[in-house]
Amino acid sequence: MTHAKLRVEKIGGTTMSRFPEVLENVILKNKDDIYNRIYVVSAYAGVTNDLLEHKKTRESGIYKIFEHGEYCKPAMLKLQKRLCELNHGFGSIGLDIEAADRFISDRIECTLGILKSMSNVLASGYVNRNELLLAARELLSSIGEMHSAFNTANILQNRGYDATYVDLSGWRDGRERTIDERIQGTFAELDPSRTICVATGYTKGTEGIMREFDRGYSEVTFSKIAVLLKADEAIIHKEYHLCTGDPAIIGEDRVKPICNTNFDVADQLADVGMEAIHPKASKPLETAGISIRVMNAFDPSHSGTIMTKGYICPQSKTEVVTGSNIVTSIEIHDTHMVGEVGFDMKIMQVLLKHNISYINKVTNANTIGIIVYEKDCTSELIRDLQKNFERITTQNVAIVCAIGSNIAKPGILSRATGALADSHINILTVSQTARQTNMQFTIEREHFIQAQQVLHKALCE
């Protein structure tokens, strides 16, 4: 297998749903340079939400129906109808609709049979319930990516190109393989210089890709393929540019695409929910020295944002203003805290028990404040904290951040706080490390949009 100029390219779900444009703007953009590319595709927009649960609202999908011991068949058949309707929308660009309908219908029929068997085993009480539920989640996750990858390869084949559907889902393959072993074994039999490889974003492995990475699994597949096959570049195609701010909040005429940044900035963005790439997918690429290019699939003339390990912006500036309005501030006040070595470790042990990672932490002599996602601030967590500490208070808030690879400029914090004060926005907490890659402000939630607009104008325009 040749690795010359090998590129591994990830296409996200919302982008896949506009596949006629993806076909022209991405895959067939340069018809003289269509090989030595491996495309890792997500399920079409909303399909994984239907299979599992809504990523943001947590609205129940088929997995939740199964978890609660309810009858899955009506929901699965409803999904099958939706996927076949999606197939019919791609007939005009070359999809063999009959073959595509038969493919997905067979997968859903077999999945229903497996889920029924799993339900019977669960009812027996002889197996570990959590293990079987995780297996069901893995099974359901694979369906969306099998569907979109098969369709993509089929369309390319019917348009006269050599394309291969690369099924990493382990469908009807009972061999015990790790994720890495499945990827290596599958691609050992393929030559990307001779065929366009279209791989499922889901990879079956003994360690369980959903167990390890949950909804970030398709980016982990993308990352692992790039690292294992020693790709020259890893490209992510999204429906938007990675910009200085959210165009919907700041205004499309005011934001600008970021042309260069580093992996540290990508981590800062992911920490507040603005994922350019899942952090567990970016780390192996960073270690392997493989750059990431984030591109807007619908603006093919733009070269996108390049992330490299060592990049530092030559000019001190804020690269992006972002934030989250779905966070909660938890304040732990205890008069025994002052001077006691390791006091905050007790708080961390409670968070660990509930499998919660905090976004930010600020302290003074007798108070520690942490910012967590609102969904993680459960009544069980608060009860555990109340058992161990004098006073716990919570407040639903927002955070806004000024992020960059080089924001170590005298006066930038003053300019940011001054701009917020001039707009009558009260800062509840402020945080910045000596590395100075992320200035983070906690504010009242009602000021979330206004604060981003104010900071963008003061720091980026």
Final residue in a domain of this structure, among 181, 214, 239: 239
**Residue 47: inside a domain:** yes
Q: Which of 208, 239, 270 is at the close of a domain? A: 239
Q: In the chain, count H helices and then E strands.
A: 17, 14
Residue ending a domain, among 222, 239, 256, is 239
234 shares a domain with 109? yes
In a domain, 196, yes or no: yes
In 313-460 the beta strands, taken as DSSP E runs, fall at: 320-333, 360-363, 367-373, 391-403, 427-431, 438-444
Give the pLDDT confidence of 100-151 residue by residue, as tens digits.
Answer: 999 999 999 999 999 999 998 888 887 788 889 999 999 999 999 999 999 9
Structure tokens given for 54: 């809504």
| Range scoring the smallest mean pLDDT among 54-63, 75-84, 219-228, 411-420 | 54-63
The whole-number pLDDT of residue 211 equals 83
What does pTM read for this prediction?
0.89
- Residue 410: is it exposed, middle or buried by C-beta count within 10 angstroms (0-12/13-18/19+)? exposed
How much is the pLDDT for 118? 92
pLDDT band at 192 (very low <50, low <70, confident <90, very high): very high
Q: Considering the domain boundaries, does residue 412 fall inside one?
A: yes
Judge if 149 and 19 occupy the same domain: yes
Over residues 215-230, the mean pLDDT reads 94
Question: Which range of residues forms the domain containing residue 426?
Answer: 320-459
Would you mind telling me the total number of residues written for the chain in this entry? 461
Which residues have a Cβ under 8 Å from the Cβ of 205 and sit 6 or more positions away? 170, 177, 178, 179, 180, 181, 182
Which segment of 31-35, 49-53, 289-293, 360-364 scores lowest on mean pLDDT? Answer: 31-35
User: What would the mean pLDDT of 20-42 be, rounded to a whole number?
Assistant: 94
Predicted confidence at residue 173, as pLDDT, reads: 87
Give the rounded percent of residues in the chain with a pLDDT score beyond 90: 80
What's the CATH code of the domain at 128?
3.40.1160.10
For residues 164 and 29, state if they share a domain.
Answer: yes
CATH of the domain at 344: 3.30.2130.10
- Flag whether pLDDT at 317 surpasses 50: yes
Distance CA 51, CA 56 (A): 14
Helices (H), 32-96: 47-51, 62-67, 73-89
**Core vs surface per residue 14-46: b (16+ CB within 10 A) or e:** ebbbebeebbebbbeeeeeeebbbbbbbbbbbb
Selection from 83, 142, 146 nearest residue 114 by Cα: 142
Ranges 31-35, 48-52, 200-204, 351-355: which has the least confidence: 31-35
CA 7, 28, 243 angle in degrees (round to 5)? 65
Residues 224 and 328 grouped into a single domain: no
Q: Is residue 11 part of a domain?
A: yes
Per residue in 348-394, pLDDT tens?
999 999 999 999 999 999 999 999 999 999 999 999 999 999 999 99
Q: How far is CA 68 from CA 46, 61, 114, 211, 373, in A?
A: 22, 11, 16, 19, 25
Domain count, the chain: 2
Q: Say what the pLDDT of residue 137 is.
A: 93
361 shares a domain with 216 = no
Contact (CB, 8 A) for 425 and 452: no
Q: Judge if 103 and 225 occupy the same domain.
A: yes
Residue 296 placed within a domain: no
The mean pLDDT of 311-337, rounded to a whole number, is 93
Residues 290, 268: Cα–Cα separation, whole Å: 19
56 has pLDDT over 80 = no
Q: Is the pLDDT of residue 1 over 80?
A: no
At 259, list the tokens: 């042309």
Residues 234 and 324 in one domain: no
- Is residue 287 in some structural domain? no
Rounded Cα distance between 173 and 204, Å, is: 10
The answer to the question of residue 263 being in a domain is no
- Specify whether 345 is located in the same domain as 442: yes
Quick one: 103 and 205 in the same domain?
A: yes
Mean per-residue pLDDT for 426-434?
A: 91
pLDDT at 4: 62
Does residue 309 belong to any structural domain of this protein?
no
121 and 29 assigned to the same domain:
yes
Average pLDDT over residues 8-33: 94
Strand order, beta sheet including 37-41 = 163-166, 196-200, 37-41, 7-11, 233-238, 292-296, 305-308, 260-262
Report the chain's mean pLDDT, rounded to a whole number.
93
Please check whether residues 234 and 327 belong to one and the same domain: no
Residues 15, 144, single domain; the answer is yes
Is 60 exceeded by the pLDDT of residue 3?
no
